[in-house]
Amino acid sequence: MKRYGILNSHISKVLADLGHTDTIVIADAGLPIPDGVKKIDLAVKAGNPSFKEIVNAVAEDMVIEKVMIASEIEEGNPNHAQYIKEKFKDQKIEQVSHEDFKQLTKQAKAVIRTGEITPYANCILQSGVFF
């Protein structure tokens, strides 16, 4: 049994397999997941687990060089927009339209679905390297 880091075997495997510039998505309960992209469904009930809980856990276990969010988050979910800016203040944060965001999810190695039920509570995390 692992002592540290993410215990969920599906998430742990995806993170271990990431290469430089590969991406994963942390999604709210409503984001459409493209056919052919691995879905890791953590949603238990509305709001559980939260977007922030999963972002925090993944960020502790992943080298992240860039974060992508929908530009609509600024108006549609200012609390989560502020959280992302603070959480990833040392990484590049790129904003794209929500429609472009959904297109980018097609290239992700996996989508981790949370129970979050607030608008635009989604991000794409691009893998970096630790060396």
Cβ neighbours around 65 below 10 Å, total: 14
Please spell the DSSP secondary structure of 10-77, one letter per residue. HHHHHHHH--TT-EEEEE-TTS---TTSEEEE---BTTBS-HHHHHHHHHHHS-EEEEEEETTHHHH-
Give Cα 37 distance to the centre of its chain.
14
Residue 80 among the catalytic residues: no
The annotation status of 29 as a binding-site residue, yes or no, is: no
Structure tokens at 22: 């590969």
Candidates 20, 39, 92, 106; catalytic one:
20
Q: Which residues contact 46 (CB under 8 A, 6 or more apart)?
A: 29, 115, 117
The annotation status of 8 as a binding-site residue, yes or no, is: no
The annotation status of 98 as a binding-site residue, yes or no, is: yes
Q: Which residues are catalytically annotated?
A: 20
Show binding-site residues: 28, 98, 120-122
Show binding-site residues for substrate: 28, 98, 120-122
